[in-house]
Structures are given as structure tokens and as C-alpha cells.
Amino acid sequence: MYKTILDYVRRNQLFDRGDRVIVALSGGADSVCLLVVLNEMKQEFDLALKAVHVHHGLRGEEADRDSNYAGELSEKLGVPFSCAHVDAAGYAKEHGMSVEEAGRHLRYKIFEEERLLFEGTKIAVAHHGDDQAETILYNLFRGTGLKGLGGMRPLRDRIVRPLLCVGREEILAYLSENGISYCEDSTNSETEYARNRIRKVILPQIKEQLNARAGENIIHAGLMASKADAYLEKQADSLLTNHGDLKKDKDGTVYQWGIGTELLLNEDDIIRGYVIRQMIKGVNGSMKDITMIHVESAAALLFGPAGRQIDLPGGLIAVRTGKQMWIKKKNVEDLVDNHLEVSLPNVDFSVFSYKKGMEIPKNGYTKWFDYDKIKCALSVRYRETGDYMTLAGGGRKTLKSYLIDSKVPKEERGKIPLVTEGSHVLWVIGYRISEYYKITDDTHTVIQMQLDGGKVNG
Amino acid sequence: MYKTILDYVRRNQLFDRGDRVIVALSGGADSVCLLVVLNEMKQEFDLALKAVHVHHGLRGEEADRDSNYAGELSEKLGVPFSCAHVDAAGYAKEHGMSVEEAGRHLRYKIFEEERLLFEGTKIAVAHHGDDQAETILYNLFRGTGLKGLGGMRPLRDRIVRPLLCVGREEILAYLSENGISYCEDSTNSETEYARNRIRKVILPQIKEQLNARAGENIIHAGLMASKADAYLEKQADSLLTNHGDLKKDKDGTVYQWGIGTELLLNEDDIIRGYVIRQMIKGVNGSMKDITMIHVESAAALLFGPAGRQIDLPGGLIAVRTGKQMWIKKKNVEDLVDNHLEVSLPNVDFSVFSYKKGMEIPKNGYTKWFDYDKIKCALSVRYRETGDYMTLAGGGRKTLKSYLIDSKVPKEERGKIPLVTEGSHVLWVIGYRISEYYKITDDTHTVIQMQLDGGKVNG
């Protein structure tokens, strides 16, 4: 197994000579194996290791036992060790997240702090092949593109995952062959319900009933997806480098990035999406809170008339002018090629899980919709022929007759901003939302839309 | 729902004006819906329809009832109808396939015959969104690249699938709303075990326990994979058009296709695979029996010394010469740029499912191996330093010491052809195979390797 991992590390260039590596050590089988293997690999790459254990302040004595074992093992291997105590439960409460999520946040925070203290260059974590198959299925079921289908990357943002090439069983066999003990894996009890279902029920069932090799097959398909993803990103980058218009302020911060609409329209659908994604990432600095629906909604602007825009998370907007498609920061003065009459309000989208009992906002500028009902790209625009809404009984009503019934004067009707999915109106801003998209007991995911600065009162 | 399907048909350009369409009509809900919808769509595209029912000679009266209903419905809709009788069970026996497989073969054969009779341009089949999600999972679990992750294509080789954009529930609701009856879906009982498990157990469980929208999410991820696949194919085609060396005989038949090794080595891994795949497809005429392992084995030639070759299904070989990588027909005189000393034997690979009780060939020129044990590309080559075999106990033995123990004279040792996975020797041709890859009771899939013309006797 050591050789498999060494090959994997070499092939993916996980380490450079002289790397200083923080090793995340829970004391469970996976992380124990990671530390032992990296310690063996030390000479090969001239690595300096430091093991870091995070005590979550949960599970009382059991957690103390894990901490102690992690410390003892490190000492035995001659690896410097440190243990950090955190209050996962308190942090969870404070930040309104689950204890598991809080634990993950805190762990990576500690690892990063320890890395800086240690002058470390990498952080090694113990995710293995089974975790990878589980991650790919989890992403697939929840909705993902090629990036998510690719699962975890062996190296990203200084995090390395040398064990992705081996399975849980191989790890256990290796530890038992080498007489290395470990704590019963405490992280398992920490993982959330969905992941646990996949790990304990769905994946074993698939392996047993459909294909014993399903785990590896999933990982292989994921690898193809991640290679395709990397290639498509490279193609998008090259288009942007050669044809993009990147605007930076005097500090060098990107505030606006655009590319010709003609050029984008001549590219494949999938490349258009990657170009927009790269522009968003460039202007925003990250893809935080950006979902597929944002990218698709921005891409959909290309097919509509010039002048339309949509809001994106992180205070960005996507604007289509006559000849260019722009991603820009909202607070920056409009510098795009055609001066726009942007009278449409800014609408922020955010997506989150719905839990029963959540209070649905009851005001004119924040609306919740059932995200699962949305199948196509959303637009913020004025009305067009064919627009309709869904009534309580499930029937349709044209927007025109709704506006007539609502006694909106004819000359005002064209000035009301709408959020639409094709011709289906989700929200007549300032008036009502469509029955079709309302939150029900069956809702799993909410998309919240929020008007900027209450420009319209509803 | 009609509008959803019409949008889908338009977006994917499934029909051209004046298309003449054979509609596959089992009499079950899906195909009844298909016929009704296409009949409604007739004017839109000026379609001529003909419904074709295949009676499989199975399930006695129930099948007669389905046939009758299919005929009645067609008459009611004013669509010409024909019913063909086939003997699926007999065909299955004759061709050594399952009855389901035989049924599928025969159906498509009939549809194609009917298409020719009708001067038809397309064949419409009733696969819907649930079938698509099931197909994607089925491919993912059994092992696939981006192509399989993409699932069924809406239009391929004259087969159109207009219902891929709607789910089974929508179809049933549509039929019930419109008061259209149908036969209990006879095809369900025909589908094989694995697909049935996915349809009836695994997918419903995922939807219920993990994400109600999992079906659509799987389809969406599949769509991204199929777009990426199409784009990568286009990129590979453009490389081959600009830099490939295509050799045709006087009838215009391609017998050899090559491209510069330097150029391929400079491309991304994923593009290399697509280029090789396209060359194989071009020379072979199809991708029949070509698996991922063949493509990867051919690509691996690029990283080894010049002069190596491997056999591919369909009587092809992949050869790496000094400056070119070729896919060529074996029976064609060697026309590659460097004249090669091809003294390595040709080895044909084929992959199939293992069923207990199958008789393992006991001769020197046909060997079976456990396909599931192979993780990397295979090579046919002579020995190199570091080559080893696995012994019955699981231990390793260097090839050198095996050959010494087998009393092979020193000067002969370098002349024995091997099949290898990296340094691990699967088969010392003419001698023995490695214990590691032997067929056991746990074997699911066999890779058979067969020597061409018994050049070596073992």
C-alpha cells in the first residue's frame, strides 16, 4: 500500500522537496495511517511533519482518550504534536450551524493557524477512496456539475489528500499488518445524516447487489469529470486571456471583467458557462454561494435583448450590453461600453435548506421560493408577451389579466419589474408571487430573493 | 407537458420538417404517451408517423392484449400501424444472450426494417427522464467515462427520444388527465436485475432519504457530462483534422490513422484519450467492444519506448513508432513511418461477465484474468528491471528469479513476451499467469487474452 500511495503522491505532485506538512490527526484509523505513511515518506521528499489534533469538547472521556492516543503515537514516531481545544457546540450555536459543520470549520481554522505557526507549506488530511466515492455520490444526488462530480482533489489550496488512492479496507489491513492500533473512528459519528446513509447503506448495497467494483468505478468516472473540468477551465481561461476585457482599480483589484457577446455565442454552451464562472470567480475572488443557477441565469442574458442584468451573490451583477457581457461589482461606477439605463432593481439570490418551522419573511422586498421547482434560468426583466402566473388551483393566468384585475393602469404595466423563469412569472415585484413556487411542507430547498435597498415597496 | 416536450424537441432539433417517423409502440404508458404527443406535434413539423409494435412471442395472452391495444389506439389516432412477431426466446437461445437482450436486438432490428419500408427518417422511442437517471447510475456503477455519464442522447443514429425531458409520473398524469388508457407496462418485467434494482429500490431510496430532486440532479449532471464529452470529441477531431495522418485504401476505407507522439504528449491527458478513441473509431468503424482499458493501454504506449504495440478488438493494433502513434488494421501491410521489428505476438483482449461454472480455458494461448484486479493500463512487452509476479500465498517473486527457477537460459529470458500492468506481470506468455489475477469465486468480470495464431506454445 505504501508504494501505491507513493506513486499517487508522485503522479499528482502532492509534495515538493522540503515541504513542511501539518498532519490532521484525529486518532482514528485513517489519520493514524496517514501519519505513519507520511512519516515513512519523509526522506523521499525531505518533509518536516507536525501532527495536530483538535479536541472538539464533545464526547467527554472518549475524546480525551483519542487526544491521548494521538499524542502518544506522535511521540513514538518522533513527530512534533500539538492539541487544540475548541468548543464546537458553542460555535455551532453562535453561528447557527450544525455541530458537525462547526467542527469542520474549527478544525480547518486550527490547521491553518498551526500551519502559519509551523511555517508549514501543506496540510495533509486523511480522506480516502471510500470517502471520495461517497462525496461524488453525495454531490451527484444534491446537484452538481463536472466539478462536483470530480469529488475531492488530491491537492487544492495547500490541502493534500495522499490517501485518496486507497480504500478504507486497505487502510485497516495495513494497520493490522503493521500492528498499529487506532481509536474507533470518532469522525463517523460526526458525519451528517445524508453522508452516513450513503456510506453505510447506499454504497454497500450498490456494491453488493449491482457491482462489487462500484466504488472504484465511481472514482474513475469522477476522475474523468475532474480532468474534463480542468481542461474546460483552461479553455475558458485562454479565451479570457486572449479576448477578455479585465478592469482593475489602482490597487490591482479586479472590479469588472467582460468579453464579447458575439464571441461567447459562437462557443459551445459548456464553454460559455465556464467563461462566466471564471469571470465571476475573478471579480468575486471566490465561488462562494455561486450556484449553477446563477451561472445559467447569467449565461441566459446572452440570448435576451441588450440591457438586461441580474444580481449575483457577493455584491456582483452580470450585465449584458450591446456587444459585451460583463461581470462587475455593483458598487463600482458603471464603466461598461454602452451607458445603460439600469432601472431594473437589484435582486440578490441565496439558496439554503428548508427546515419545517422556519419563518417565511412577510414583507415586500424579501421573498422565498421553492428552489426545487425552478428548472431553467431566472431573469429579472420587464413583461413580455406570453408571461403568465400560476393560480392557487394550479391553473394559469396571463400576467396581463392579473395586472388588469389588480387595476394597474395600462401605462404602468410595462414598468413593473418581474422575476421570471422563461414565461413563467415567479414574482411581480411590488405585487405578488406565483402560487407555483411557494414554500410548502414538501419544500427541501429555498431560494431567497431580496430586493436591494427597498427600491420598490410591496 | 406537451409544451415541455415541444420545447425539448425544438431545442435539440429532434425533428426536421417532413420527417417520417417510426414510433415504437409497446402499448405501455410511455409509448402510448409518445404516440399521442407526436401525433399532436405532427402539424408543427409536418411529420408522417407510423406506429410499430413488436410481439415477442412471450407472455401469451397478455402480449396479445398489448398488441391489440396498440393497434386500436393507432387506428383511433389515424396512424398507420404494423405489428411484427418475433421469437425472442429462440433468438436468445440461438445467440447465447438473455431473453431481454434478444428482445432489444430484435425490436431495433424490426424498427430499422420498418423504417426502410416506410422510407422513414427517424425512429422514436419512449425513454423518459426516470429511464435516463437510471441509465446514468447504471453506467456509473458499472464503470464509465463522460460518455456513459451523459446517459442516452436525445438524438443519435436516427433514434429520437422526445420524452427524456419528462418523468414517469408526469407521463401517467398526462394520460390520466386526457383519459387515455394503456396496458400495464410489460417492459418493466423484461428489464434486467440490475436496472430493476436501481429503478425500484436504489433511486426511490435516494429520493426519499437524501434529496427529493435527486433524479433531476442526476440528469443535470449527466447533461453537463454529455456536453463536455461532445466538446472534447470536437477538440480531438480538430487535432486529428489538422495534424492526423489518415490512410485510406482505394475504396476509401480507412485502414490506418496516426498522429505525432510529440503533439499528443503536449496535450492534456483527457484529450489524448479522446484522440485515441476517435482514431480507433475511425479505423474500426465503431467502438464495439472497445473499453476504457483499451484506450488507456494504447495511450500508455506514448510513455514507453518506441516500437511497442498492443492489440485492440476488431482486429486493430495500436503501435507507437518513433514519432507517430498509430491505430491500424492488423491485416494491412505495415506502412508506418519506421519499419518495425514487430516480433511481439498479437494479443486480443475481450471483457465479459463471469458466471460461476464457466469453464476456464486450459491452453497456452487463451488465458482468463480477473478484470476487477486490473487498475492500470496493460502492455505487451519484453521484460524490464523490477518486473515481478505474485505467488499463491500472496507474496512477490521477481520475474528474474521465476525465470531462473524455470530453468530458462539467460539468453532466452529477454525474448519471452509478457503481458504486464506496470511492473506486475500478468502473463509470462508460453509459461504461467500470475496468481494475483486468477479467476476466483469472487470474480465478476473476466478479461480474456488470446494469442494470435498460436505463435507461442505454452
Region A11-37: mean pLDDT is 94
Please indicate if any CB of chain A lies within 8 Å of the CB of B16: no
Q: Which residues pair with B131 in a beta bridge?
A: none
Please indicate if any CB of chain A lies within 8 Å of the CB of B141: yes
**Considering only CB atoms, which chain B residues are within 8 Å of A268?**
227, 230-231, 234
Rounded Cα distance between B24 and B118, Å, is 14
**Considering only CB atoms, which chain A residues are within 8 Å of B210?**
138, 141-142, 194, 197-198, 202
A-B C-beta contacts closer than 8 Å: 138
pLDDT value of residue A129: 94
Question: HEC profile for chain B?
Answer: CHHHHHHHHHHCCCCCCCCEEEEECCCEHHHHHHHHHHHHHHHHHCCEEEEEEEECCCCHHHHHHHHHHHHHHHHHHCCCEEEEECCHHHHHHHHCCCHHHHHHHHHHHHHHHHHHHCCCCEEECCCCHHHHHHHHHHHHHHCCCHHHHCCCCCEECCEECHHHHCCHHHHHHHHHHCCCCCECCHHHHHCCHHHHHHHHHHHHHHHHHCCCCHHHHHHHHHHHHHHHHHHHHHHHHHHHHHHCEEEECCCCCEEEEEEEHHHHHHCCHHHHHHHHHHHHHHHHCCCCCCCHHHHHHHHHHHHCCCCCEEEECCCEEEEECCCEEEEEECCCCCCCCCCCCCCCCCEEEEEEECCCCCCCCCCCCEEEEEHHHCCCCEEEECCCCCCEEECCCCCEEEHHHHHHHCCCCHHHHCCCCEEEECCEEEEECCCCECHHHCCCCCCCEEEEEEEHHHCCCC
The amino acid that residue B336 corresponds to is V
What's A397's DSSP letter? Answer: E
Q: How far is CA B149 from the centre of its chain?
A: 12
pLDDT value of residue B454: 44
SS3 call for A283? helix
What's A323's DSSP letter? Answer: S
Please indicate if any CB of chain B lies within 8 Å of the CB of A90: no
Rounded Cα distance between A347 and A419, Å, is 9
Let me know the angle formed at the C-alpha of A216 by A212 and A222, rounded to the nearest 5 degrees.
140
User: Which grid coordinates belong to A126?
Assistant: 486523511
pLDDT tens per residue, chain B (458 residues)? 898 999 999 989 999 999 999 999 999 999 999 999 999 999 999 999 999 999 887 777 778 888 999 999 999 999 999 999 998 889 888 888 888 888 888 999 999 999 999 999 999 999 999 999 999 999 999 888 899 999 999 998 899 999 999 999 999 999 999 999 998 765 554 556 788 889 889 999 999 888 888 999 999 999 999 999 999 999 999 999 999 998 888 888 888 999 999 999 999 989 999 999 999 999 988 887 888 888 988 998 988 877 788 888 888 999 988 788 999 988 765 444 443 444 577 777 777 878 877 888 887 788 899 888 887 778 888 888 888 998 888 788 899 888 888 888 887 887 788 898 888 999 998 888 888 899 988 888 888 888 865 444 33
The amino acid that residue B202 corresponds to is I
How confident is residue A186, by pLDDT bands cut at 50, 70 and 90? low
Residue A310 contacts residue A297 (beta carbons within 8 Å): yes
Rounded Cα distance between B28 and B181, Å, is 9
Dihedral over alpha carbons B92, B96, B100, B102 (to 10 degrees) = -50
Torsion region of B71: left, alpha or beta (phi above 0 gives left; psi -120 to 50 gives alpha)? alpha
Region A429-447: mean pLDDT is 87
Q: Do B225 and A220 lie within an 8 Å CB cutoff?
A: no
Domains, in order of start, for chain B = 2-226 (3.40.50.620), 254-329 (3.30.465.60), 347-454 (3.50.40.10)
Rounded Cα distance between B348 and B449, Å, is 5
Find, among B60, B66, B63, B70, the residue nearest to B36 by Cα.
Answer: B70
Rounded Cα distance between A439 and A448, Å, is 11
User: Which grid coordinates belong to B11?
Assistant: 431545442
User: Which grid coordinates belong to B46?
Assistant: 409536418
Please indicate if any CB of chain A lies within 8 Å of the CB of B268: yes
Interface test with B, best of A210, A229, A303, A390 (most B CBs within 10 A): A210
State how far the alpha carbon of A276 is from the alpha carbons of A143, A230, A252, A282, A319, in Å.
Answer: 19, 15, 21, 10, 11
| Per-residue pLDDT at A198 exceeds 50 | yes
Q: How far is CA B275 from the centre of its chain?
A: 17
pLDDT value of residue A63: 82
Please indicate if any CB of chain B lies within 8 Å of the CB of A210: yes
How confident is residue A336, by pLDDT bands cut at 50, 70 and 90? very low
Q: Would you tell me how many other CB atoms lie within 10 Å of the CB of residue B407?
A: 6
Residue B254 contacts residue B282 (beta carbons within 8 Å): yes
Cβ under 8 Å to B: A residues 375-394: 375
Q: Would you tell me how many other CB atoms lie within 10 Å of the CB of residue A105?
A: 16
Residues 6+ apart with CB under 8 A from A407: none
User: Which grid coordinates belong to B246?
Assistant: 489518415
**Considering only CB atoms, which chain A residues are within 8 Å of B268?**
227, 230-231, 234
pLDDT value of residue A185: 60
Q: Which long-range contacts (CB under 8 A, 24 or more apart) does A320-324 make?
A: A320/A261, A322/A261, A323/A260, A323/A261, A323/A262, A324/A245, A324/A258, A324/A259, A324/A260, A324/A261
Residues in chain A, overall count? 458
pLDDT value of residue A175: 95
| Per-residue pLDDT at A342 exceeds 70 | no
pLDDT value of residue A456: 40
Rounded Cα distance between B199 and B180, Å, is 25
Check whether B30 is labelled as a binding-site residue.
Answer: yes
Q: Would you tell me how many other CB atoms lie within 10 Å of the CB of residue B188?
A: 12
Residue B44 contacts residue B2 (beta carbons within 8 Å): no
How confident is residue A332, by pLDDT bands cut at 50, 70 and 90? low
Rounded Cα distance between B26 and A279, Å, is 49
Please indicate if any CB of chain B lies within 8 Å of the CB of A209: yes
- Chain A residue with minimal CA distance to B270? A227
Residue B318 contacts residue B276 (beta carbons within 8 Å): yes
Match 398488441 to its residue by C-alpha cell: B67
pLDDT value of residue A219: 94
pLDDT value of residue A191: 56
| Torsional sign, CA B50, B165, A146, A215 | negative
SS3 call for A47? coil
pLDDT in tens, B117-129: 999 999 999 999 9
Q: How far is CA B237 from the centre of its chain?
A: 20
Residue A226 contacts residue A153 (beta carbons within 8 Å): yes
Please indicate if any CB of chain A lies within 8 Å of the CB of B211: yes
- Chain B residue with minimal CA distance to A204? B202
**Considering only CB atoms, which chain B residues are within 8 Å of A209?**
194, 197
Rounded Cα distance between B386 and A133, Å, is 32
Find, among A119, A100, A123, A101, the residue nearest to A111 by Cα.
Answer: A123
Find, among B103, B15, B21, B104, the residue nearest to B58 by Cα.
Answer: B103
Residues of B7-29 as b/e, b for ≥16 C-beta within 10 angstroms?
ebbeebebbeeebebbbbbbbbb
Cβ-nearest to A217 among B140, B214, B220? B140
The amino acid that residue B210 corresponds to is L
Q: How far is CA A426 from the centre of its chain?
A: 25
| Torsional sign, CA B54, B59, B64, B70 | negative
Rounded Cα distance between A348 and A345, Å, is 10
**Considering only CB atoms, which chain B residues are within 8 Å of A143?**
211, 213, 216-217, 220-221
Residue A255 contacts residue A248 (beta carbons within 8 Å): yes
Rounded Cα distance between B81 and B243, Å, is 50
| Torsional sign, CA B267, B268, B273, B277 | negative
Residue A36 contacts residue A180 (beta carbons within 8 Å): yes
State how far the alpha carbon of A208 is from the alpha carbons of A201, B135, B182, B231, in Å.
Answer: 11, 19, 36, 35
pLDDT in tens, A56-98: 877 777 788 889 999 999 999 999 999 999 988 898 888 888 8
pLDDT in tens, A33-54: 999 999 999 999 999 999 999 9
Task: Give me the helices (H) in A118-200, please.
Answer: 129-142, 146-149, 168-177, 186-190, 193-197
SS3 call for A196? helix
Rounded Cα distance between A238 and B122, Å, is 40
Task: State the Rg of chain A over Cα.
Answer: 26
Residue A375 contacts residue B215 (beta carbons within 8 Å): no
Residue B397: CA count within 13 A, CB half-sphere? 20
User: Which grid coordinates belong to A80?
Assistant: 512534533
Please indicate if any CB of chain B lies within 8 Å of the CB of A225: yes
pLDDT value of residue A203: 92
Find, among A92, A23, A19, A89, the residue nearest to A56 by Cα.
Answer: A89
Cβ-nearest to A268 among B201, B225, B231? B231
- Chain A residue with minimal CA distance to B233? A228
Which phi and psi angles does B309 have, rounded to 5°?
A: -150, 160
